[in-house]
Structure 1
């Protein structure tokens, strides 16, 4: 049977556990769910805002330690879960995608696509549902990095096409629109049309994160994306050289 006094002590103990990033206790944040007590055995969930939380194990250990210290508690089981929150935007595009993260650079050759790929895979390994869009139209490299053969995507209803899937990621690339080794030669205005297709005509499904690998610079693709897509955040990749940092600073200002 549930002991109201013991439950109150457990809640009070958990109120002393703070999220180091949000600077509030996990009870006030609403993270504590499904508290269950049977005799001296206590079970509850801690529901975080992202499966990629870097302090997840720290919070688990602190919860276990503080609840175990309460008289009458014999065993503690803490189940760490996560529900990714959606970034609120007025734009209705990509309704099934909770967060869009753009990866950009001022110059080419600084490792932007490598960062995009590893960021997407790292998020997927935490249990998040992740998509990876290769929007570097003139120099798409994501398929090669992911080990995906160049082939046309499958087309479904309403002429929407399905992403390729690899390592738990849904992947779309401009490379899939051409034959192996064939360059994609387009004028500036046509680039925006391809990006809109990637945003509106792809069956992304339900995603926690969509990582978009942008081309270097601040051109047509970047303009279309920042105007049409509800971006949650951006990563600007650079190397330590001053000439690269100057252009990276321009990339940062583009998202401000």
Structure 2
């Protein structure tokens, strides 16, 4: 069998491998790249839309199995890669950022900053290029969570500045604008100005994801962000208490009103059921 005939059979086999989220086969989705065949040895890439794909190993195993069953194939090498695609939103700024994810909550104290930090690190560990913006101006806590010193960011050209870096994340926070332990006292209109600086004056570079830790509620900061930098999606954080869930619902409605897709709701600090008394604690 010629290499050309073998490649036709390989493509046919790979057309039976389906992406469970997109409900299409990986060939029609354009995931199969750089197919090579020589003396029965087959090598190709499967380029996913995110390095954090939860079914990456399943897809790899299915490709190896189905191609390996073809007559004439002696060895199969599947290289799983990724190319994060930009959201459909047109962004007048942050042109190097493919996707912006906002993490919000209806009320404070639900662990929103903890979720933002862990989400950013998880995306980075998956292989993505990630930035983390601490937009909680009055209560910035991201630097503390990352163990970062409070110091001014390094200046760049054109009145811009570079974000700090930690754990392979690019990080900016209002905490870097004051001395450690000092409050940042601002009136409402000035909040939008700081957010504008974080969007326009920070040299974020090329990022797959920019995770933004929003302040609680539905005020100036949220409106500035949705108007200046259209979001790819939003995540709502809540705790199990009814009062928190009521406020979380307001956060969902806020995102929907400004036409930002809600990626999910995370219930933090949930209860556990006691083995002895079957009560929720």
TM-score range, shorter chain: over 0.9
Q: Distance in 1 between matches of 2:3 and 2:170?
A: 47
SS class of match (1:159):
coil
Aligned to 1:44: 44
Equivalent pair of 1:104/1:251 in contact (CA under 8 Å)? yes
- 209-218 or 85-94, which moves further after superposition? 85-94
Counterpart mapping for 1:3-82 below 5 A: 3-82=3-82
Cross-structure match for 1:140: 140
Match of 2:190 in 1: 190
1:100-249 aligned at under 5 Å gives the runs 100-249=100-249
Q: Distance in 2 between matches of 1:166 and 1:90?
A: 29
- Verify the 8 A CA contact 2:93 2:200 in the aligned structure 1: yes
Identify unmatched segments of 5+ residues in structure 2: 257-281
Alpha-carbon distance in structure 2 between the residues aligned to 1:90 and 1:214:
21
Q: Normalising by structure 2, what TM-score?
A: 0.90
Contact preservation (8 Å) 2:102, 2:233: yes
After TM superposition, give the deviation of residue 3 of structure 1 in Å.
1.7
Q: Aligned-pair distance for 1:2?
A: 5.4
Deviation at 1:36, TM superposition (A): 0.2
Shift of 1:249: 0.6
Q: Distance in 2 between matches of 1:95 and 1:89?
A: 11
Distance 2:144 2:54 in 1: 29
Runs of 4+ in 1 over 2 A off after TM superposition: 88-91
CA RMSD after TM alignment: 0.9
Three-state SS of the structure 1 residue aligned to 2:103 is strand
Match of 2:265 in 1: none
- Mean CA deviation greater in 81-90 or 211-220: 81-90
The question of whether the paired residues in 1 share the 8 Å contact of 2:68 and 2:74 is answered with yes
> How many angstroms does 1:223 deviate by?
1.0
Distance in 2, matches of 1:241 and 1:121, equals 27
- Contact map agreement 1:2 1:37 (CA 8 A) in 2: no
**Structure 1 segments unaligned to the other structure (5+ residues):** none
Cα deviations across residues 210-230 of structure 1 (Å, max 9, x unaligned)?
Answer: 000000011111111111112
Distance 1:8 1:72 in 2: 13
Distance 1:155 1:44, change over 3 A: same
Q: For residue 239 of structure 2, give the secondary structure of its aligned residue in structure 1.
A: coil
Q: Whole-Å Cα distance in 2 between the matches of residues 135 and 163 of structure 1?
A: 13
Give the Cα–Cα distance (whole angstroms) in 1 for the partners of residues 2 and 166 of structure 2. 47
Q: Provide the rounded CA distance (Å) in 2 between the counterparts of 1:115 and 1:89.
A: 24
Contact 1:134-1:213 at 8 Å conserved across structures: yes
Q: Which stretch of the first structure deviates more once superposed, 221-230 or 97-106?
A: 221-230
TM-score (normalised: structure 1): 0.98
Separation in 2 of the partners of 1:89 and 1:30?
Answer: 22
Q: In structure 2, do the counterparts of structure 1 residues 2 and 117 end up closer, same or farther at CA, with 3 Å as the change threshold?
A: farther
* Matches of 1:223 and 1:3, distance apart in 2: 57
Report if aligned partners of 1:135, 1:195 keep a CA contact under 8 Å in 2. Answer: yes
